[in-house]
């Protein structure tokens, strides 16, 4: 079945550091890939998505490229801010419902 | 944009009582909604798929008699936790599926409901 594996946290970075959170997936067919963010005490918000191979999703300085050859969708940001502290979930959908990774907690310190 | 609300956002109840959580799509109709449960520092676990006008489809290991789901309209699904116990304490999140003009489905999530059973 479909599954998502993402790097386990927590990840602690200083402000303005470069961020990478790895995500790989196993799926049949051609799934859509997503990154969701969950701020403390809140629900999930879609951060970015890519619906086909080689697509790059981007939002708020975050980027992820759908790599079919490596079955990956790594999340990157060039310069993190304290306000980026949250839990990030990688997810895929070959068809609804979504399959989530376990989440990676990011803490950014000033 | 597509907005999904949940009510209540927090609820504290005594063991043995029942709690109803509402999930509403505010500006679109959703034939399919999903209910997830999130344990502390864990990922989301899909509990059930709620289909408007038909019975919900439960994931393996989820007690359908304990977690009653009713999708009465295209904008409302409810989850009732019956005879709640402390182990039911969790963060419950719903999502609603919006089908775009291209036929692509996207899920929009509610803000979640934190249930604490004493």
**How many Å apart are CA B49 and CA B34, to the nearest integer?**
5
Q: Mutating which of A2, A38, A43 best tests the B interface, going by the most B Cβ atoms within 10 A? A: A43
Mean pLDDT of the region B94-105: 75
Among residues A92, A91, A87, which one has the least CA distance to residue A103? A87
Q: Which residue has the higher pLDDT, B91 or A40?
A: B91
B37: nearest CA partner in chain A:
A43
Taking only the tens place, the pLDDT of each residue in B7-52 is 999 999 999 999 999 999 998 988 889 999 988 777 788 999 998 8
| Contact criterion met (CB below 8 Å) for B38 and B27 | no
Rounded mean pLDDT of chain B? 90
User: Which chain B positions have a beta carbon within 8 Å of A52's beta carbon?
Assistant: none
pLDDT at residue A96 in the model: 62
Q: How far apart are CA B27 and CA A98, in angstroms?
A: 22
Q: Which residues of A touch B (CB under 8 A)?
A: 32, 36, 42-46, 49, 51, 89, 93, 95-98, 100-103, 105
Provide the number of CB pairs (under 8 Å) joining chain A to chain B: 48
Q: What is the pLDDT of residue A87?
A: 93
Phi, psi of B88 (to 5 degrees): -85, -10
Residue B100 scores a pLDDT above 70: no
Q: Pick B110 or B102 by higher pLDDT.
A: B110
Confirm or reject contact between B57 and chain A (CB < 8 A): no
- Portion 73-92 of B in contact with A at CB < 8 A: none
Cβ of B61 under 8 Å from any chain A Cβ? no
Express each pLDDT in A18-75 by its tens digit: 999 999 999 887 788 999 999 987 878 889 999 889 999 999 999 999 999 999 999 9
Looking at residue A33, what is its pLDDT?
A: 93
- pLDDT band of residue B115 (cuts 50, 70, 90) is very high
> Is B111 an 8 Å CB contact of chain A?
yes
Q: Is the confidence at residue B101, as pLDDT, over 80?
A: no
pLDDT score for A9: 84
Which residue in A31, A35, A44, A95 has the most chain B C-beta atoms within 10 A of its own C-beta, making it the best mutation to test that interface? A44
B91, B106, B110, B116: best to mutate for the A interface, most A CBs within 10 A: B106
Taking phi over 0 as left and psi of -120 to 50 as alpha, with beta for the rest, B83 belongs to left
Classify A30 as helix, strand or coil. Answer: coil
pLDDT at B85: 96
In 3D, which of A99, A88, A78 has the Cα closest to residue A33? Answer: A99
């Amino acid at each position: 079945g479909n599954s998502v594996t993402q790097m386990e946290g927590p990840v602690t970075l200083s402000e303005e550091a470069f961020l990478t959170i790895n995500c790989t997936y196993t799926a049949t067919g051609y799934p859509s890939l997503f990154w969701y963010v969950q701020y403390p005490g809140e629900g999930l918000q879609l951060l970015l998505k890519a619906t086909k191979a080689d697509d790059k999703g981007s939002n708020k300085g975050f980027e992820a490229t759908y790599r079919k050859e490596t079955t990956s969708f790594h999340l990157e940001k060039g310069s993190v801010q304290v306000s980026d502290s949250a839990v990030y979930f990688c997810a895929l959908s070959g068809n609804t419902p979504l399959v989530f990774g376990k989440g990676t907690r990011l803490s950014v310190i000033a | 944009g597509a907005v999904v609300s949940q009510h209540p956002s927090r609820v504290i109840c005594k063991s043995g009582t029942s709690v109803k959580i509402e999930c509403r799509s505010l500006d679109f109709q959703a034939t399919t909604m999903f209910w997830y449960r999130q344990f502390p520092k864990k990922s989301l676990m899909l509990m059930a798929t709620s289909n408007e006008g038909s019975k919900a489809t439960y994931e393996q290991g989820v007690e359908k008699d304990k977690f009653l789901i009713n999708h009465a309209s295209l904008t409302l699904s409810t989850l009732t936790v019956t005879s709640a116990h402390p182990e039911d304490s969790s963060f419950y999140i719903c999502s609603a599926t919006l089908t775009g003009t291209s036929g692509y489905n996207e899920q929009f999530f509610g803000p979640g409901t934190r249930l604490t059973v004493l």
